[in-house]
Structure 1
Amino acid sequence: MDKILTDLRITLAVGVLLAVGLMFAPYYLPPLGLWNGVFQWLHVFFGITWIGLLYYFNFVQIPTMPAIPAELKPGVSKYIAPKALFYFRWAAAFTVLTGLILAHLYHELKEAMMLEESARLIGIGMYLALIMAANVWFVIWPNQKKALGLVAADDATKAKAARVAMLASRTNTLLSIPMLLCMTNYH
């Protein structure tokens, strides 16, 4: 058990194998079929990863950084933040992708995108998620690359980029609350 739990890749692989095993159990009958169940599971997994990291940044990292001594800050900015931002942006992309696939599998994609009455709540949630994902890829990530020194930038540019990234991240935190309401209360 120690070997399984001390290596994250093995932990994840065993977790996936257990979930896949449950999918083929005789009592596992997703209401709309196996593929819907698989994509619902993936959508929730990626969504938890995305929003969990969003909340980590906003509830832990951003408020804590001013209190960290200057000599310790590179530990966060050079090692923790870039890795967290990698998972953050890809979780956003895969959450949106699996969500669109799910809407298609539920035969609700057009209705949701058109905000038709039958799918208005999920459509609003989808649009909020699309805005948030665009924020991740086109505002937060490019600015974080500057702020963290992953691309060349002078100190004034880094400071401005950090502020823009923080405000975009706070915008996503704000939008995540109604988005989660839409997503969890639709079906």
Structure 2
Amino acid sequence: MAEQISSNKNKRKKQAPIKDEKEMSFWDHLTELRGTFIRSIFTVLILSIVAFLNKDFIFNEIILAVKDSDFITNRGLCFLGQLIGINYFCVKDIALEIININISGQFMTHMYISFVMGFITAAPYIIYEFWRFVKPALYDDERKNSGGAVIIFSFLFYSGVLFSYFLIVPLTLNFFGSYHVSDMVQNQISLNSYISTVITVTLSIGLIFELPVLVYFLATIGIIEVESLKKNRKYTLVVVLILSAIVTPPDVFSQVLVTIPLMILYEFSILLAKRGEKKNIVSD
């Protein structure tokens, strides 16, 4: 047994990556990390400039379009509502008057949105850069098993962003924008509040969609077990339903639209956890 363990350790050492036939020093790693940050930031800045120069499209067709009644999601919900005989889902023009209360507010918002768009579009490259930084420290088998990491990370992130933008954000704006405590109170939403809501919800869901990757990693190192995920499925459903009730109008249909994709994401996390758990058993 001792000889077998020693043999496995030696085999793993042979698989360990070597750069220039010697170990990289601490300062070498810092230099590599610095280059990773510089290239990532430079890419974000370039794409942010592109977004800045396309102000009309970014704001009129993306950021502000989501609150209009002819937005694709609102038209789709109206169509579904007509099929089932419920006109409640037909979103009319939301009484959402957006105002700017700071003299530099619109310019700073333009800068902020340009940076956010630059970050979102540069996300795959940023993931690739950090993957390239970590890759030399991995063993051969770990490199092979995580070869599609950049694609998976990017796919999940963009799936979350699109899911949020086309479903959660319109439902959220429709609910809060049309909610009144009294007819005597009219909604006048500051530009900062509107932008913050759209961006925060969109990016948050994008990051939440990275959950399967996190679960896979934790299962690989033995922190999370598949059985515990299965046992907690009903509690997860309750949490998702509560979150859906918070960000959507108070009707069952809207909550179901949000809940089903999130539960599918959870089930996908369980499948990845099984794979990670098997990998952990094999490595042990």
The interval holding the TM-score normalised by the smaller chain is 0.3 to 0.5
- Using structure 1 for the length normalisation, give the TM-score: 0.34
- Using structure 2 for the length normalisation, give the TM-score: 0.25
Pair member with larger Rg? 2
Higher helix share: 1
